[in-house]
């Protein structure tokens, strides 16, 4: 297995969807190719850093405002004509 073959299998390798025979070849390649080993390590960290640090905030205030706006539109659309707005919000 060369570096190009390895890259073609990288997604399956990360996702644990690689056949056992190919997995052995991938591991063998990683044991001998420091470049591909770095690519695997840093790509895994790329995924981890995005999963661990959501760059966009979604505060409760925004959540409440959006949900109220959506429900207002739904009720005004007339699909639920018999429903009246309650003074009490639903508990979280």
CA–CA separation, 91 and 29 (whole Å): 54
Q: Residues 18, 26: contact at Cβ < 8 Å? A: yes
90 counts as binding other proteins under rule CB under 8 A: yes
Backbone angles phi, psi at 58, to 5 degrees: -140, 80
27 counts as binding other proteins under rule CB under 8 A: no
Candidate list 2, 20, 61, 77; residue touching other proteins; CB under 8 A? 77
Q: Residues 53, 33: contact at Cβ < 8 Å? A: no
Q: How far is the CB of 23 from other proteins (least distance, A)?
A: 16
Per-residue x/- track, 52-71, other proteins (CB under 8 A)? -xxxx-x---xx--xx-xxx
B/e letters for 68-90, b = 16+ CB within 10 Å, e = fewer, are: eeeeeeeeeeeeeeeeeeeeeee
Q: Which residues bind other proteins (CB under 8 A)?
A: 7, 10-12, 14-15, 17, 34-35, 38-39, 41-43, 45-47, 49-51, 53-56, 58, 62-63, 66-67, 69-71, 73-75, 77, 79-80, 82-86, 89-90, 92
């Amino acid at each position: 297995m060369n570096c190009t073959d390895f890259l073609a299998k990288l997604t399956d390798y990360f996702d644990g969807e690689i056949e056992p025979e190919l997995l052995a070849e991938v591991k063998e390649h990683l044991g001998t190719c420091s470049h591909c080993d770095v690519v695997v390590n840093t790509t895994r960290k790329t995924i981890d850093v995005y999963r661990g640090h959501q760059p966009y905030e979604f505060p409760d205030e925004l959540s409440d405002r959006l949900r109220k706006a959506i429900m207002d539109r739904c009720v005004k659309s007339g699909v639920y004509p018999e429903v009246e707005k309650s003074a009490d919000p639903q508990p979280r």
